[in-house]
């Protein structure tokens, strides 16, 4: 764990010095002792950009509870039946097809972010803020054969994703001494620039009218966020990365092989406590599984047999890989909490667009692990006016992670009927 910073720590440069805001890394005394007693929680989101073929994913609506028939797409998860929950009729209450993909982890369309106190910050980034400098990487945003569009900071910036090779190097490849020196110099330069910016901003802010104050405060928030990020990263420069006997994985080995390799790296990232918040979007390479065509084309299936069969193969593989991640986490003892890693790792499978036909109603959502009480198919009201926001599930996930909040994105409360074991 990094050595805690103090409030006396300063960013210095350009002839000025500014005290840092209170950071997670500055905890000490009784606050640190309190945090030490809290369980270490982890979050993984697995997603894709085209939704899921509903008829093979959802149990029958009249089979609420534990005794539902396992749908075709979910059959690879059968042995984990008691460790996951599937939900029917949850969504974000919005429309817009592909434009809704980025709303999965917030419920907020990016262009409407300014209407919300925390913008369209995603669940993983909210967790990353609470983790701070406790891990080398507050979060990791990953991709396999598909763009990752679901991870956003509170300032509305989409977090760039890294691929399989970059993930391995991020986790295990040490930078040269020269590269570390260069990066430290970059941090110092950025810090000096931010000092000057904040000094000038404080002076300018006093001269602004009320109409400009809110917009200017959003700008200052982005500056302070960057300042905080720099000071979270600096302590890790001289700390060695974990070692592994695993060789660097080769990319381009096919849809199943690439996704399996990334799942293994996700498990290693959690087990080495390199991060506690991960999002992964995965796609499909034409030619795999004996299929000729693209995922997007298949998703516009029109109930045609050939396209539906292709979707089932692609989406079954996603469940195979999710089951594999659960296997890996369930098999590993958790040295920080006791029990297994799965006991303290929440895995959310979901899509911001429900189906490739641009529907955004009834998002395919599946929750596993994390100490939640699982095993059920939970069916929520389908009728307009009675529908339950999917953001209620997101709020429950955040509260389960120990965040003391009562609202997130478009939530109205925590998700009724979803409980978790007390820490």
pTM of the model: 0.82
Residue 69 is assigned to a structural domain of this protein? yes
Buried-state track 324-346, b at ≥16 Cβ within 10 A, e below 16: bbbebbbebebeebeebbbbbbb
Domain of residue 279, CATH code:
3.40.720
Q: Based on the fold, state whether residues 60 and 150 are members of the same structural domain.
A: yes
Which H or E run includes 352?
none
Report helix, strand or coil for 282: strand
Of the residues 239, 265, 281, the one at which a domain ends: 239
250: DSSP letter:
P
Q: Based on the fold, state whether residues 321 and 220 are members of the same structural domain.
A: no
Token pair of 403, please? 């965040």
Of the residues 216, 239, 262, the one at which a domain ends: 239
- In this predicted structure, what is the pLDDT of residue 11? 36
Report the alpha-carbon distance of residue 396 to residue 413 in Å, rounded.
8
Number of domains in the chain: 2
C-beta of residue 112 within 8 angstroms of C-beta of residue 415: no
Q: Based on the fold, state whether residues 227 and 293 are members of the same structural domain.
A: no
- In this predicted structure, what is the pLDDT of residue 240? 87
Q: Based on the fold, state whether residues 129 and 233 are members of the same structural domain.
A: no
Q: Based on the fold, state whether residues 161 and 198 are members of the same structural domain.
A: no
Q: 206: domain range?
A: 176-239
Q: Based on the fold, state whether residues 396 and 259 are members of the same structural domain.
A: yes
Of the residues 186, 211, 239, the one at which a domain ends: 239
281: DSSP letter:
E
Low-confidence ranges of the chain (pLDDT < 70): 1-37, 176-177, 179-181, 183-237, 422-423
* 42-86: pLDDT as tens digits: 999 999 999 999 999 999 999 999 999 999 999 999 999 999 999
Place of tokens 């979060």: 139
């Amino acid at each position: 764990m990094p050595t805690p910073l103090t409030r006396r720590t300063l960013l210095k440069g350009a002839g000025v010095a500014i005290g840092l805001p209170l950071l997670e890394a500055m905890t000490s005394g009784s606050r640190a002792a309190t945090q030490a007693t809290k369980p270490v929680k982890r979050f993984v989101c697995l997603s894709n950009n085209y939704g899921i073929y509903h008829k093979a994913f959802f149990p029958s609506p009249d089979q609420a509870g534990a005794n539902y028939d396992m749908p075709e797409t979910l059959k690879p998860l059968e042995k984990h039946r008691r460790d996951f929950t599937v939900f029917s009729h949850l969504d974000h209450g919005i429309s817009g097809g592909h434009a809704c993909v980025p709303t999965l982890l917030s419920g907020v369309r990016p262009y409407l972010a300014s209407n919300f106190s925390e913008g369209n910050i995603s669940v993983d980034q909210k967790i990353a803020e609470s983790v701070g400098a406790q891990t080398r990487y507050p979060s990791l945003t990953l991709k396999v054969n598909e763009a990752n569009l679901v991870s956003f900071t509170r300032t509305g910036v989409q977090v760039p994703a890294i691929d399989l090779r970059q993930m391995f190097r991020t986790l295990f490849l040490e930078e040269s001494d020269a590269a570390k020196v260069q990066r430290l110099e970059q941090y110092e330069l950025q810090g000096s620039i931010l000092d000057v910016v904040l000094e000038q901003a404080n002076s300018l802010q006093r001269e602004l009218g009320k109409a400009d104050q809110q917009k200017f405060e959003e700008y200052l928030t982005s500056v302070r966020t960057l300042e905080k990020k720099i000071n979270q990263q600096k302590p890790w420069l001289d700390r060695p990365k974990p070692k592994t006997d695993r060789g660097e994985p080769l990319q381009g080995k096919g849809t199943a092989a690439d996704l399996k390799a990334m799942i293994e790296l996700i498990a290693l990232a959690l087990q080495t406590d390199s991060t506690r918040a991960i999002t992964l979007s995965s796609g499909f390479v034409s030619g795999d599984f004996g299929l000729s065509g693209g995922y997007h084309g298949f998703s516009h299936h029109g109930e045609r047999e050939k396209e539906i069969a292709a979707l089932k193969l692609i989406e079954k593989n996603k469940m195979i890989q999710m089951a594999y991640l659960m296997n890996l986490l369930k098999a590993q003892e958790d040295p920080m909490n006791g029990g297994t890693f799965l006991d303290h790792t929440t895995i959310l499978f979901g899509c911001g667009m429900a189906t490739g036909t641009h529907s955004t109603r009834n998002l395919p959502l599946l929750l596993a692990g994390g100490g939640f009480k699982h095993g059920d198919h939970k069916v929520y009201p389908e009728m307009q006016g009675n529908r339950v926001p999917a953001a209620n599930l997101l709020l429950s996930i955040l509260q389960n992670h120990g965040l003391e909040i009562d609202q997130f994105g478009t939530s109205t409360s925590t998700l009724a009927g979803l409980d978790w074991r007390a820490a």
